[in-house]
Amino acid sequence: MTHPAPAPQLLLAPMEGLLDFVLRDVLTRIGGWDRCVSEFIRITDQLLPERVFMRVMPELAWGSCTAAGVPVRAQLLGSDAACMADNAARLAAMGSAGVDLNFGCPAKVVNRHGGGAVLLQDPDQLQRIVEAVRLAVPAHVPVSAKMRLGFDDDRLAEACAQAIEAGGASELVVHARTKAHGYRPPAYWHRVADVRAAVRLPVVANGEVWSVADAHRCLAESGATALMIGRGAVVDPGLGWAIRRSLGWPAPAQVPAVPAVVEWAELLPHLEGFWQLVCERIEPRARAGRLKQWLNFLRRRFPQGQTAYDEVRTLKDSAAIGHWLNRQLLLTAPCSATSPMACLEVMA
């Protein structure tokens, strides 16, 4: 089967413990993204109840879209083909915008239990899993997969991609490193081109895209027309728009355009929105850590992020963090002639 060439698109990557539904909400409000993928949902030997899927991907309650209207595709991780198929069918019934299969997670605990990148040592099993999932969900529900170039090396990269295609996947994301490489640079984008040459389905390039220049090099070396970005988007929330504009790609229809470069003052309201969602949806003992985690990434892009991280690093109380955020917003907002006392209070 020959698949049509994909339209240029930017996908927001899943990142376990970081790029969850809270950060998906905020980053897609800023915009520039065509689609998201949820963090992996671990499948072992049972059909999971709907509440488990909802906990990882609450967007299922909103038509499988973020608040900004960007579609979210649920991702499953596991090695039991029949059980993966059963859970995929349940996700499809819940209205997921698609089912994505994780064949790339490098975590040792995941690999020890037969999931993620370890499956790249067995292309036949990859095909069985994709086949079972494809048969289990309605024809209109996309089934995609994400893989690395291999486990210890990349000798089976093309064979794995062909197995995924043979199983019936409609799209493949290739993280351009092996499990052994972890997240160490560089990413081997030229190997994505080799994978593309071995299959007919659309291939999305992923890995080590931190800037507009990186995006251009990745597309040139991989020959791909679509990118998936994770950490680069967390560090620079305006990266999606910056890439689209530099490449002349059309804007997604879901959200209004914003400046190609998001500066700190523009980001602060989104940081406040992030904190509000954290306080609503995350247990109290984990809230402060979530904000510090994002600020730790943001300081790579924004000098003010370093200052913010230093100021928040020792705070644990939610009320104290809320007060700090309010102060930042007032400091960056123009003083209103109708409320001069507010400006005096901030300056005090």
Residue 306 has which token pair? 């370093």
CA distance 291 to 107: 24
Whether residue 48 contacts residue 41, with contact meaning beta carbons closer than 8 Å, is answered with yes
Q: Calculate helix-pair angle for 284-298, 303-312, nearest 10 degrees.
A: 150
| Number of residues assigned to the chain | 348
Q: How many CA atoms lie within 13 A of 275 on its CB side?
A: 22
Annotated active-site residue in 105, 160, 218, 343: 105
Asked if 128 contacts 85 with a C-beta cutoff of 8 angstroms, the reply is no
Distance CA 114, CA 166 (A): 21
Q: Is 160 a catalytic residue?
A: no
Cα 3 from chain centroid? 24
CB atoms within 10 A of CB 98: 23
The terminus-to-terminus CA distance of the chain in angstroms comes to 68
- The maximal CA–CA distance of the chain, rounded, in angstroms, is 70
CB atoms within 10 A of CB 335: 13
Query: Shortest CA distance to 324 belongs to which of 291, 277, 280?
Result: 291
Q: How far is CA 98 from CA 21, 70, 140, 159, 169, in A?
A: 16, 13, 9, 24, 11
As given in the structure block, the two tokens for residue 316 are 């644990």
Cβ proximity of 183 and 177 under 8 Å = yes
Q: Tokens representing 126?
A: 């990859």
Q: Which residues are catalytic?
A: 105
